[in-house]
Amino acid sequence: MPLGEFFAWVAEVDNQIVATSGLVFFQRPPYNGNFSGLEAYIMNVYTISMWRGQGIATALLKEIISFVRATAAKRLWLHTTKDGKRIYEKVGFVSTSKEMEIVYY
């Protein structure tokens, strides 16, 4: 991937990766609500089962959201499973007809 289009976050405990997430930036044609067209997509949020429920994924998501807010991207979005939906809602994502998103205006 070209430099600056993919970023990864990991959470470690005792030098072991226990959670991870990726972020991809991409350019769409400008549209109403996002005249720059720059968007960010969160992919593959995963926490090892024994570490779930301890706020690790939430902490990763908060870091990603802070990172994206400091860029020119006006939309941050993802697809979720039924099990993951509550975590994303907790950090500010809202459901659309196809995915969940945070839009920065």
Q: Which CATH number describes the domain made up of 6-103? A: 3.40.630.30
- Alpha-carbon distance of 55 to 65, in angstroms, equals 15
Q: Which pTM does this prediction carry? A: 0.86
pLDDT-based confidence at residue 105 (cuts at 50, 70, 90): low
pLDDT-based confidence at residue 98 (cuts at 50, 70, 90): confident
Question: What is the domain partition of the chain in residue ranges?
Answer: 6-103
